[in-house]
Amino acid sequence: MTTTVEEILERKSHAVIRDPEVAPIVDLREELFELEARGEVIVQRVPENHVEVTTKFGRKKKIPIDHTWHHKSCGQCGHIPGYTSSIFWLHRQFDLDYLDPKDQTSCTGWNYYASGASNATAQAAVMSRNFAAAYETGYFPMIHCGTSYGHYKEVREQLIHHKGLRDEVRRVLDKMGKPLVIPEELVHYSEWIHVMRKRIAEKQTVDMSAITATVHPACHYYKIVVEDAIYDPEIYGGQRMATVTATLQALGMNVADYSTWYDCCGFGFRHILVQRDFTRSFANLRKIEVMKNEVNPDVTVTHDTGCVTTLDKSQFAAKAHDRKVGIPVLSDAQVSALAMGAHPFRVVQMHWHSTDWRPFMDKLGVDWQKYWDEFQGDLELIRSGQKAGITWEDADKPVVNVA
Amino acid sequence: MPTTLENWNPGKAENRHPEMTYEEKEKLFLEVKEDPRYEDFLYGCYECGICVSSCPSARFYDYSPRVIAQAMAREDVERIYDIISEDIWNCAQCFSCVRCPRGNNPGGLVTLLREVAVRNGLQETRDVLQGYSRVIYKVMLKGNQVSPDMLQPDFFPDWGPWVAQFSANMPVWRKAIPVDTLRGVTDAAWRTERKTLLELYTIWFETGNMDIIKEIDEGLYDLLAEVMQEELEDQ
């Protein structure tokens, strides 16, 4: 039965109470720990070695430094592998313990947002299965993907607030002999880079002070469950998320503002695969061209797989239409690895990017041709069967030094 | 003028889809409304338009998150059917609309509407998702959904000549990645254990997800179900 008119009017009449002195502080952990005390869930604690940061409304969020279980990303690993290898490379440079698991699936959030061909229980069960797998190893999950991170925050909230959902997920997990585990914090890898930024800058071998960069903040990082994103009064007066911007500033870049910073990149989940006219228009007209016209950056930096893909790949067609485009797109992990002297191809894997990154490398003073030739040598050895592939032994050592 | 019972005029939409009865449309709406997440996503609508001003789809399509919130708040069954049969597929799911001062989540409402559209196998939904079944296939059988072997010039001609480069060099470039779970993998984003995949298949069957796939693409369902059942039986 539909609602009566009286009920609708009653709902519309609810006042929204606003008090500027009281920020809407939400700490889901309190409810989470209550659920644990009742024996409903296991809460995986953030490891001892962590740093506390401030979130949008002032809550302290714990970001683990080591002993992390890397929840990988479909798009990073599939289309922009240098994103993932840069994250791991950074961990290795600081000799930090991490786990690159095979017992992990996609969060399946991309598919769900795109097609709706799933349901709340399935989504929550996939998340809980992955988190149980992390818990079994003792390592704390760190989420590489903006979509997964936002999606998991959404699902965590649903799991906490809906007993029926919890019960159903527990029933499914029982079939696999897994407990219902929810981490104390959901942590995005760019938050790890954020808290590591000064240590990254200390090991910097490439001077980035000549670079002007723009930042595209990933929607699913700070728009879904807004209270979990990092903010800092030093960054845009605390009015915008601090992640990425603070990292680039620590690396010495000039971070330039532009008017459409809040806009989505145009990814659209299903659009980027089957309706790219939408994606291209938005990526170019609302983001790339606006950046170009207003501040003409050398690079734009983001912290999500979908955003890098959308902004990078969309520029080719726009160029054909004489649009004012041509900004290389990288993740903060890739930029940080480049700053610390990572091999541009063995580690940062620049060759998977479409928009011309060479002018950016030239401006950094990096002789990319030299490293490309070296990489071609690696590929020849692989082609001839003399080498099975590039390993960390080949890639660990920082090689670029133009500070 | 304050809204009262006497002047209440929700502006109900006309019946633009006479091929479907009002009762059928109402049934779809009630499915959305009965979802436990519904109460978290809708609190009413000031009609201020903040959601529209930040919505990428509103710039590109004849689409409005405000209309969705209004239609849902007014329980305008006819309008909701218009939305469920077409508009929902324009949403980019970026959640820029959650800027709403009333606390609405139009993107979340779209998620619920999509789920109901898929679950009920609406013809418009089948049509829209036709081109997407390859991705559904990937995620269900491989455990992750964006595999390197998707990078082919036929699929992404507008991504430039580099796609041909990626495709031609794929086997050797993928071996030149130092990450252990990525090295040499071309048909999935990363290497996933068989046990992990079997657990994922268990989730699809146990949560009714396979029934959902059956509603939108029976051929895809048959293919997936056969492979998954065989794997699970071999376990």
Mutation to test the B interface, candidates A84, A106, A216, A374, most B Cβ within 10 Å: A106
Query: Does A24 have pLDDT greater than 90?
Result: no
Which residue is closest to B177 within chain A, CA to CA? A390
Q: What 3-state DSSP class applies to A22?
A: coil
Distance from CA of A122 to the nearest CA of B (A): 5
- The pLDDT profile of chain B, 235 residues, written as one tens digit per residue, is 556 767 666 668 888 899 999 999 999 999 999 999 999 999 888 889 999 999 999 999 999 999 999 999 989 999 999 999 999 999 999 999 999 988 999 999 999 999 999 999 999 999 999 888 888 999 999 999 899 999 999 999 999 999 999 999 999 999 999 999 999 999 999 999 999 999 999 999 999 999 999 989 999 999 999 999 888 888 7
Q: How far is CA B191 from CA A73, A142, A261, in A?
A: 12, 18, 36
A250-277 mean pLDDT: 96
CB pair distance less than 8 Å for A105 and B132? no
Which residue is closest to B188 within chain A, CA to CA? A78
Instruction: Choose the weakest-confidence range: A175-179, A291-295, B39-43.
Output: B39-43
Say if residues A282 and B96 touch (Cβ distance below 8 Å). Answer: no
Q: What 3-state DSSP class applies to A53?
A: strand
Q: How far is CA A97 from CA A66, A70, A93, in A?
A: 5, 11, 11
A155-160 mean pLDDT: 96
Mutation to test the B interface, candidates A86, A107, A108, most B Cβ within 10 Å: A108
DSSP alpha helices (H): ranges in A21-137?
Answer: 28-37, 74-79, 81-93, 109-115, 120-137
CB pair distance less than 8 Å for B93 and A269? yes
Q: What is the DSSP string of B82-116?
A: HHHHTGGGG-----GGGG-TT---HHHHHHHHHHH
CA distance A162 to A240: 31
Which residue is closest to B207 within chain A, CA to CA? A122
> Which residues of A fall within a CB distance of 8 Å from B216?
117
Say if residues B146 and A111 touch (Cβ distance below 8 Å). Answer: no
Of A111, A266, A354, the CB nearest to B145: A111
At residue B87, the pLDDT reads 96
Instruction: Choose the weakest-confidence range: A22-26, A347-351, B71-75.
Output: A22-26
Of A119, A133, A162, the CB nearest to B207: A119
> Which residues of B fall within a CB distance of 8 Å from A219?
94-96
Between A15 and B41, the more confident residue is B41
Which residue is closest to B149 within chain A, CA to CA? A78
Long-range contacts of A30-36 (CB under 8 A, 24+ apart): A31/A160, A31/A161, A32/A160, A32/A182, A32/A184, A35/A160, A35/A166
The conformation of residue A288, written as its DSSP 8-state character, comes to: I
CB pair distance less than 8 Å for B179 and A104? no
pLDDT band, residue A12 (cuts 50/70/90): low
The terminus-to-terminus CA distance of chain A in angstroms comes to 70
CB pair distance less than 8 Å for B37 and A351? no
Distance from CA of A131 to the nearest CA of B (A): 12
Say if residues B210 and B180 touch (Cβ distance below 8 Å). Answer: no
Of A2, A102, A162, the CB nearest to B36: A162
Instruction: Choose the weakest-confidence range: A21-30, A272-281, B139-148.
Output: A21-30
User: What type of residue is B223?
Assistant: L
Of B26, B92, B146, the CB nearest to A75: B146
A97-107 mean pLDDT: 97
CA distance A327 to A364: 15
Size of interface A-B (CB pairs under 8 A): 295
CB pair distance less than 8 Å for A223 and B56? no
Of A79, A274, A278, the CB nearest to B132: A274
CA distance A224 to B41: 12
CB pair distance less than 8 Å for A389 and B36? no
A91-100 mean pLDDT: 98
Query: Does A16 have pLDDT greater than 70?
Result: no
Which residue is closest to A177 within chain B, CA to CA? B199
Mutation to test the A interface, candidates B144, B147, B202, B217, most A Cβ within 10 Å: B144
At residue A21, the pLDDT reads 73
Query: Does A11 have pLDDT greater than 70?
Result: no
Distance from CA of A254 to the nearest CA of B (A): 27
Distance from CA of A72 to the nearest CA of B (A): 8
> Which residues of A fall within a CB distance of 8 Å from B122?
none
At residue B134, the pLDDT reads 85
> Which residues of B fall within a CB distance of 8 Å from A351?
165, 173
pLDDT band, residue A1 (cuts 50/70/90): low
Average pLDDT along chain A: 95
Tens-digit pLDDT profile for residues A304-318: 999 999 999 999 999
> Which residues of A fall within a CB distance of 8 Å from B165?
351
Between A366 and A22, the more confident residue is A366
Distance from CA of B74 to the nearest CA of A (A): 7
> Which residues of B fall within a CB distance of 8 Å from A273?
131-132, 135
Which residue is closest to A16 within chain B, CA to CA? B102
Query: Does A9 have pLDDT greater than 80?
Result: no
Of A11, A168, A349, the CB nearest to B177: A349
